[in-house]
Amino acid sequence: MARSRRTIPTGTVTFLFSDVEGSTQLVQELDTAVYRELIEQHQRLLRAAFEAHGGVERGTEGDSFFVVFRDAPSAVAAAVDAQRSLQSAVWPSDHDVRVRMGMHSGEGIVGGDDYIGVDVNRAARIASAAHGGQVVVSESTRALADRNLPSGVGLRDLGEHRLKGLALPERMYQLVVEGLRSEFPPLHGEPSRAAHLPPRLTSFVGRESDLDDVRRLLVSSRLVTLVGSGGTGKTSLATECAREVAGDYPDGAWFVALDTVSDPELVASAIVGALGLLESSGRSARERLEENLSHRSLLLVLDNFEQVIEAAVIVGELILAAPTVTLLVTSRAPLHVTGEQVYPVAPLAVPAAIDPSVSRQTRDPIALMSVPAIRLFVDRAQQVDPAFRLMAENADAVVEICARLDGLPLGIELAAARIKLLGATGIRDRLVQHAGLPGSPARDAPDRQRTLRAAIAWSHDLLDAPGQAFFARLSVFVGGCRLEDAEAVCGPASELGAEVLDCLAALVDQSLVFARPMDDSVRYGMLDTIREYAAEQLAEHDDRLEIQRRHALAYLALAEANGPALRTRRRGAVVPLFAAESDNLLAAVRWSIEKGEAEIGLRLAAALQNYWGIEGQIVERRSTILAILDIPAADVPSRSRMRALEAAAALYYFGGDNDRAGALNRAQLEVAQALDDPQGTADAEFNLAWTEDWRGRATEATTTLDRLAESFRELGDERSLARIELLRGLVLLLTEDQDHARRVLEQAMTRFRELDDVIHEIVAASMIGGTYLMQGDQRRAAGSFVKVFVVAREIGDVVLMIGMLPFEAMAAIELGRPESAAVILGAFDTHSRRYGVHPPQGLEQFIAAYDAHGRAEATLDPDAFDSATRRGREMSLDEAVAYVLEMAGPLM
């Protein structure tokens, strides 16, 4: 180690340490001679700069220097010259040399022939915190050199950092030198921030993507407000984010708890107290706050701002008065301050529902652990029961727990805390029964977080009287609603004492209601846990039954106005409406049954029959529609009962139960005749004709159809006249008069297209394919079936798609692909049973006569046939559709 002959300085001196960043990698990459040349050149450049400013070299080992200066300005000037020399030098093999430097000014105590004491160690640690090309100085060096910096040199405050081996944190600054690199990653070492934030007592789970989003927002926005309903984990997200970014702020991150502050006028005092500012007589808290923060650079976390929302003006004042202060606020309502960036904190993601159309339904515990809500439950459960594990036996219960709690972290944590007491199944069962769970066992938890109900009540109590009344009324909506429906059911303003839109805005602000943009509108809804609380409030109101009736009538009007379009090419615009309102529609149906509202229930049954068929709800809704027909006052003959009987018959007919369909159609006919309703009578007789087996009875069938056609002609019912021809074509198909059948069916199909009846048009097209098949024109038949299937998929009709699968199996046989036919038949077996869909009697006879199952089985060896059908049985409906279209590609 080379030593300078100069007398070593004592007293207050400045210590400088430097070394080459990445020197180990350079040794590995470069030839020994090249590396030696590079290091020697580096030493010459630095030694010249240091000596020019009076530096006394105390140590040189390989790529490092230890130099002492009598004063801080000289040390700074030497470091600046050294970095400039390094940048302008030409290096061997074009390898740049990046040197990090650190300086600290302290007492130069000599022991023996060298310096001793903590100040030397502090300077060395500061250098090790820097990056190549960066010069970092301590607070003491900054204070001594600040007024005598070289031209083109400034100082950037990097904040306090804890350095390895040193008890006290060090505030550090970077030299910013004109013409040299000035942007570097955060210093090595831990920013000194822990004292300003509440300690994390549990692991941070499930919010990694939110954490990244908020960090990015803090870069571009000085006011970020995390908004969400009670229990979503806003505080946890804010404090974790503050921990991660505190090092980016020279004065760190500070946490201000406002949950115990109820007076907006005391918010400034709460912030002053959290920052540890001294009292000042004659000066208000706001004045002291603005004065102190005007020259500081920090992140201020304001937690639970919703109950002092009127104090938002203070936040606006701080933004203007303190240009280097950033605020991260948690609140159930936005502050509505200029420059505010709102970030909605949604509940944690929960597992997707298992596709009920898939025969094998198992949960993979390993895969489930990637879902945030599940991961949180398991983590918190293991805190109280270290032996708890997510396994196949308890996976379904854990999934349902998280789903029933809407993915709310608070609810999940409360549930998991009872794992030893109840087990996963016991917790799930209590939630199913709405029995509730015991409160939080954490004695130090705030009252508002001891139960999920208390967290919701906290927000509810912040609403004014009209807002609370509207909140209760809004609970009648299941699955959300549109503004116009909320106005129709929850208004008018004269009842509420405020406009519906204003009340809705207040609930959205308080995160009790979420607003979800749709295609051309906005949909408003509540989490189920919040809606249950709102329903409890409504149960205490005298107008509860009136609000429920308005809700049922609103959705009856929607169903009756839009139901007819489900049979047309406009269905693409209507099906999403029914899908969005399916929960509300079903809630209206159930209310009519529970309250004995026969007329509303019967009309709903008739209006919803087409939608229930499209969505494949045939099995589920049979019992529903029978319950409507059993309402005590529903047995009185009426047009509503007649149409409800017709709807019920259709559900049984498309489910393959001809006998039950026929019985319901006969009941429909009796009501129509009792009402002396010619249209109803003709419709009932036509429906009965579809349930007949006309094989071998061609003359009788023709007579019946001719008579019905005359009735519909007198009524001016063009659509039913076309339906007569459709049934006539089926009779001809079954009696093997194929040419005549095809002509009749083509005319019917053309008429349906003119009438915009896409459902019957598709049925006619499938029958036309059948005539080709019966005549041996297999390829044209297969092509027809595939085209019909494509249309069924495009219009999203589950019943038609499932009903077409046997025809697609025929197409596969005709294409010489018996294995594909077996796969499709396996899928049909699963989904016909799952959805209760079976081809109508006439088409079922046609399918049986072709016997695609027997043909495929006879062609394949038993193992191949069994394997193919098993594969099809395990497909979801979407997978089966995709398989058919891939198989039939040559025909499309």
Distance in angstroms (rounded) separating the CA atoms of residues 122 and 161: 12
Q: Is the pTM value of this prediction over 0.95?
A: no
**pLDDT for res 441:** 46
**pLDDT for res 79:** 97
**pLDDT for res 276:** 67
Per-residue pLDDT tens for 789-819? 888 888 777 888 888 888 888 888 877 889 9
Joined tokens for residue 287 = 């004045």
Rounded to the nearest 10°, the torsion over CA 365, 369, 374, 379 is: 110
* Torsional sign, CA 150, 153, 154, 155: negative
With contact defined as beta carbons under 8 Å apart, do 527 and 516 qualify? no
For residue 446, whether the previous peptide bond is cis, meaning omega lies within 30 degrees of 0, is no
Q: Which residues of the chain have pLDDT under 50?
A: 1-5, 193-195, 281, 356-360, 438, 440-445, 448-449
Spatial strand order of the sheet with 522-525 comes to 481-482, 522-525, 514-517
Per-residue pLDDT tens for 49-83? 999 999 999 887 778 999 999 999 999 999 999 99
- C-alpha angle 878-880-886 in degrees, rounded to nearest 5: 105
**pLDDT for res 192:** 53
Letter string b/e over residues 768-779, b meaning 16 or more CB atoms within 10 A of that residue's CB? bbbbbbbeebbe
What DSSP string runs through 321-376?
H-TTEEEEEEESS----TT-EEEE-PPPP-PPPP-TT-S-----HHHHTTSHHHHH
Joined tokens for residue 638 = 């009426």
Joined tokens for residue 112 = 């023996």
Distance in angstroms (rounded) separating the CA atoms of residues 443 and 446: 8
Joined tokens for residue 617 = 């709800």
**pLDDT for res 2:** 43
**pLDDT for res 780:** 82
Distance in angstroms (rounded) separating the CA atoms of residues 72 and 7: 18
With contact defined as beta carbons under 8 Å apart, do 411 and 530 qualify? no
